[in-house]
Structure 1
Amino acid sequence: MTARVFFYVQHLLGIGHLRRAATLARAMVAGGFDVLLVSGGAPVEGLDLGGARFHQLPPLRAANARLKELAQLDGTPIDEAFRAVRTRQLLDVFDTEQPDVLLTEQFPFGRTQLRFELLPLLDAAQDRASAPWIVSSVRDVLRRSASPARVDEMVATFEAFDAVLIHADPALVRLDESFPAWPDIQDRALYTGYVAEFDPARAPQGSVGKGEVIVSAGGGAVGMPLLQAAIAARPMTGLADRRWRLLVGPNVPAADEAALRAAANDGIVVEPARADFPSLLHNAALSISQAGYNTVVETLCHADRAVLVPFGTARETEQADRARVLVERGMVASVPPDTLTPESLAAAITRAWSGPSIRSFPAVDANGGPATVAALKQMLSP
């Protein structure tokens, strides 16, 4: 009998969480699992599920870039009625599925704003006569700004879980560097390697983007400052004679995209984000991007040299921490949050261009998809 996985994911601002969840869903289906991906964020067109089934909860998003308050897609704050409807739908779908594995993306180490529905979901899973394996799926870096009381709450909630899968290469980034209560969870923690959307063992094909500077900002929800700074920084760099290709994510408003096109002079291409991004990275002279998980994994797997410009706030420390670790290892250059100007970006480009190639370092473990499948199969084996 095919084992069923109930995979809960919630993206709040960008689409990286959903993209990574979809990548894992595809890997699990390829590994023989029947997967239902349950998403609580804004719908994303063209999501490749690779045979996984999909359920859309009434969508919500972050009310703003602080990622603390939640809102409906039109900006209306969520209320108790909205929470009740979502929770009831989530529990009904779970009851119908009767899964062998309940997989929660980030929770309980993140997405704590969703406790109103996730704690009842955990209760429902534990109350079943044949309880599923309850597993958390987390990135390489957790938010360091969580209070001691919130960290204690995470640990207490984790008591209901059988395991946490850490999608990272511990030779590069270790979770204990960002999670102070690591000793309380380490006996149920397993590193899988990074989750790469594209097979890291296959070299990208073609010559698209050869010798270019590729500037990207993921989905683009908070990427306009980077794209604008790149246009202004170009004349200040030793790469001003190269073609610069700016990739505009789906969350960039049309008016902002038009403004970028108007500001771009000869030698700068402004276009929508592309499915052949790994090929662009592989062929480019330099990548300039934010430091979200998916983009960094692709950069480590494919790029030659890179500048990371992490998004960050007092609350959101994850991208800055990820970039800092890679800078400390000499692999990339970075512009820390709140210091982005055309001048600071140009200086980082100079540092990256004069530094070593990412390819001169040991290859990162990006086998997270197949390793996740293997870990779940081991859990379910008699």
Structure 2
Amino acid sequence: MSLKAFIHVQHLLGTGHVVRAARIGKALAAEGIEVTLASGNRIPPTLDTGPLRVVELPACKSPDAAFKRLVTLDNEGIDETWKSARVKASIQAFDAEDYDLLLTETYPFGRRQLDFELTPLLERATARAKPPLIATSIRDILVRKKELWKEEWMAAQALKFYDRILVHSDPDFVRLTDSFPFADRVDHLVRYTGFVDGGARPPTGSTDGEDEVIISCGGGAVAESLLWAALDARPLSRRAEDTAWRVLIGHDVSEDAFAIYRKSAAAGVIVERARRDFPELLTRARLSVSQAGYNTVLDILAAGVPAVFVPFAQVNETEQDQRAQALAAHGRAVVVPEAGLTPERLAAAIDDALALPRRRHKVRLGGARESARILLQDLKDRST
């Protein structure tokens, strides 16, 4: 009888969380584990979930970068009836099988607004006659909270319910202590996996991206300033005005807005939807321009392409800026603030970045495979 894993993931604005969860799920599946991926938002069309069994929970998102409330995909506010339905759907999905592993993505080190759902799910799991191994999957950098008690609550929740904390970073590059003040309390649960990259993919045979400037924005929900600046920056660049610029717009951007972006593009600028072969495009590109989300940065590191980062930094977001600055400190990128971004400033940053050497930054990758290895070893140790 094969082992079974249940992964719970909720992406609210960008798509990085579900991409990372799917990669770990596929790595577990490659080891013979039957994996169910329960997603609290619509799976992006660019994401290949492969062998995973996908359960679509009643979907919600954040309407803005404040992350203060949740809404449905139709932007309707959620109420207690909706919350009850969501809890019921999660527990029903979990109760469908005798899962050996329960993996929550980010929670309890984020997604606290989903505590109404996840604490009941964790209580359900621990109440079983044979509780599953319970683990959490967190990225390299956490978003700092203004109220220290919220971070202390994260540590307490982890100690109460969790057997393992997987931190998807290279500890020589960034450690949990860099963004979490109570890391010492949970250190015995922590294992560093390396960054969860996409791994090698078969080439498509396309020549798209050759010597191009690739501008990307993940799902695109919070990248309006970057997109508008990029559409007009090409003729202002001294080092990249002679090549095509390809602007990839995520699927969270409406068709109406997408049409406006396409119509507004200057000569020499290609505007299209986000592509599955984005990592391959980067290997042929002259330069990458993007925000500094986890998955995008990993694709850039793997490709070895020079980069300009415009970190998402609205409201209280610090994670992307911290990641971008770490790359800049290693001479791998130029960072330009999102606030006050103009075509002129973006063009100047692009010219500065193109003076950087093209090289691969040696960080630990393969985080999905290492996560699977750690979890399988934990399961083996429990059974002996």
5+ residue gaps, structure 1, are none
Structure 2 contact 199–366 (Cα < 8 Å) conserved = no
Which position in structure 1 is the counterpart of 2:87? 87
Give the structure 2 partner of residue 105 of structure 1: 105
Structure-to-structure mapping, 1:107-126, within 5 angstroms = 107-126=107-126
Q: Does 1:320 align with 2:314?
A: no
After TM superposition, which residue ranges in structure 1, 4 or more long, deviate above 3 angstroms?
A: 43-47, 202-207
* Shift, 1:228, TM fit: 1.2
CA contact under 8 A between 1:204 and 1:278: conserved in structure 2?
no
State the 1:209 CA deviation. Answer: 1.3
Give how far 1:184 is off: 0.9
Offset, 1:204: 8.0
Q: Distance in 1 between matches of 2:333 and 2:33?
A: 37
Question: Matches of residues 233-252 of structure 1 in structure 2 within 5 Å?
Answer: 233-238=233-238, 239-252=240-253
Aligned partners of 1:204 and 1:282 also within 8 Å:
no
Check if 1:11 corresponds to 2:11. yes
Partner of residue 135, structure 1: 135
- Output the CA distance in 1 between the equivalents of 2:268 and 2:89: 51
Give the stretch that moved more between structures: 222-231 or 30-39: 222-231
* Secondary structure at the counterpart of residue 228 of structure 2: helix
Q: Return the alpha-carbon distance in structure 1 between the equivalents of residues 297 and 351 of structure 2.
A: 20
1:155-174 → structure 2 map (5 Å cutoff) = 155-159=155-159, 160-174=161-175
Q: Supply the AA of the counterpart residue of 1:93.
A: A
What SS does structure 2 have at the residue aligned with 1:324? helix
Q: Secondary structure at the match of 2:131?
A: coil
CA offsets 1:262-299 (integer angstroms, 9 cap, x no match)? 22232111111112111210000100011111111101
**2:255 match:** 254
Equivalent residues of 1:166, 1:192 under 8 A apart: yes
Tell me the equivalent position of 1:195: 196
2:357 and 2:149 map into 1 onto residues whose CA distance is 42
Call closer, same or farther: CA 1:204–1:42 in 2, change over 3 Å: closer
Aligned residue in 2 for 1:378: 377
SS in structure 2 of the partner of residue 70 of structure 1: coil
Task: Compute the displacement of 1:132 (Å).
Answer: 0.8
The residue identity in structure 2 corresponding to 1:224 is E
Which residue in 2 is equivalent to 1:227? 227
Give the secondary structure class of the aligned counterpart of 2:116.
helix
By how many angstroms is 1:32 displaced?
Answer: 1.1
Determine what percentage of the aligned residue pairs are the same residue: 43
What residue is the counterpart of 1:35 in the other structure? 35
CA contact (8 A) 1:332 1:358 kept: no
Native 8 Å contact 2:140 2:168 kept in 1: yes
Contact 2:292 2:320 in 1 (8 A): yes
Asked if 1:342 corresponds to 2:343, the answer is: yes
Give the gaps of 5 or more residues in structure 2: none
Is this contact kept in 1: 2:225–2:338, CA < 8 A? no
Does the CA contact (< 8 Å) of 1:26 and 1:50 recur in 2?
yes
With normalisation by structure 2, the TM-score equals: 0.94
1:63-105 deviations in Å (ceiling 9; x for gaps): 2221221011111111111111111221122122221111000
Q: Is the 8 A contact 1:205 1:279 kept in 2?
A: no
| CA offset digits 1:345-380 (Å, max 9, x no partner) | 122112211123242x32x22201110110011001
Paired with 1:205 and 1:223, the residues of 2 have a C-alpha distance of: 30
Counterpart position of 2:296? 295
Tell me, what secondary structure is at the counterpart of 1:215?
strand
Does the C-alpha gap of structure 1 residues 169 and 273 become closer, same or farther in structure 2, counting only changes over 3 Å?
A: same
Measure, in 1, the Cα distance between the counterparts of 2:42 and 2:51: 21
User: RMSD of aligned C-alpha atoms?
Assistant: 1.7
| Closer, same or farther: CA 205–378 of 1 in aligned 2, 3 Å | farther
In structure 1, the residue matched to 2:366 is 367
Q: For 2:3, give the aligned amino acid.
A: A
CA distance in 2 between partners of 1:350 and 1:54 (Å): 43
Q: Is the 8 A contact 2:18 2:43 kept in 1?
A: no
Tell me, yes or no, if the aligned pair for 1:168 and 1:194 is still in contact at 8 Å: yes
Report the CA distance between 1:203 and its aligned residue. Answer: 7.9
